[in-house]
Amino acid sequence: MISESTTTRRIVAALHRREFTKTASYFLLLILSYYLGYLSALIKIPSYHHATTTKVNSPPQTTDTDHYLFQTRCADPIPSQLFHQTILDRIFNGSSPYKDFPQPHIKPLLRYKRIRGWGSTGLVFKNLIHKVKPKTIIEIGTFLGASALHMAELTQQLGLQTQILCIDDFRGWPGLSTRFQDIKMVNGDTMLLYQFMQNVVHVNATERVIFLPFSTGSTLETLCEWGIFADLIEVDAGHDFHSAWSDINRAYKLLRPGGVIFGHDYFTAADNRGVRRAVNMFARVNGLRVKADGQHWVLDTV
Ligand SMILES: C[S@@+](CC[C@H](N)C(=O)[O-])C[C@H]1O[C@@H](n2cnc3c(N)ncnc32)[C@H](O)[C@@H]1O
Ligand SMILES: *[C@@H]1O[C@H](CO)[C@@H](O)[C@H](O)[C@H]1NC(C)=O
Ligand SMILES: *[C@@H]1O[C@H](CO)[C@@H](O)[C@H](O)[C@H]1NC(C)=O
- Cα of 28 vs centre of ligand 3, distance in Å, is 84
pLDDT value, residue 119: 81
Q: Are residues 126 and 13 in the same domain?
A: no
Report the C-alpha gap between 201 and 125 in whole angstroms: 22
Record the pTM: 0.81
- Cα of 153 vs centre of ligand 3, distance in Å, is 14
Residue whose CA is at the smallest distance from ligand 2 atom 12: 93
Closest alpha carbon to 196 in 218, 227, 164:
164
pLDDT in tens, 97-138: 999 999 999 999 999 888 888 888 889 999 999 999 999 999
> What is the pLDDT averaged over residues 168-187?
94
Report the C-alpha gap between 36 and 246 in whole angstroms: 45
Q: Are residues 28 and 129 in the same domain?
A: no
Q: Are residues 30 and 89 in the same domain?
A: no
Q: Are residues 100 and 207 in the same domain?
A: yes
Q: Work out how many domains the chain is built from and give that number.
A: 2
Report the C-alpha gap between 230 and 260 in whole angstroms: 9
Q: Check if the beta carbon of residue 114 is closer than 8 Å to that of residue 190.
A: no
Q: What percentage of the chain has pLDDT greater than the value 90?
A: 68
Counting ligand 3 atoms within 8 A of each CB, the residue from 150, 156, 202, 204 with the most, and so the one to mutate, is 204
Report the C-alpha gap between 115 and 273 in whole angstroms: 25
Domain-embedded: residue 19: yes
Among all bound ligands, the one having the nearest atom to the CA of 94 is 2
Domain-embedded: residue 10: yes
Question: What is the residue range of 19's domain?
Answer: 1-54
**Which atom of ligand 2 is closest in space to residue 93's alpha carbon?**
1
CATH number at residue 147: 3.40.50.150
Q: Are residues 33 and 94 in the same domain?
A: no
Helix, strand, coil % (nearest 5) of the chain?
A: 50, 15, 35
Partners of 291 in the β-ladder:
298
73: number of Cβ within 10 Å: 7
Among all bound ligands, the one having the nearest atom to the CA of 207 is 3
Domain-embedded: residue 84: yes
Report the C-alpha gap between 134 and 136 in whole angstroms: 5
Q: Are residues 152 and 296 in the same domain?
A: yes
SS3 217: helix
Q: Are residues 46 and 94 in the same domain?
A: no
Q: Are residues 17 and 107 in the same domain?
A: no
103 in contact with ligand 2, CB cutoff 6 A: no
Q: Are residues 27 and 139 in the same domain?
A: no
Question: Among residues 54, 69, 96, which one ends one of the domains?
Answer: 54
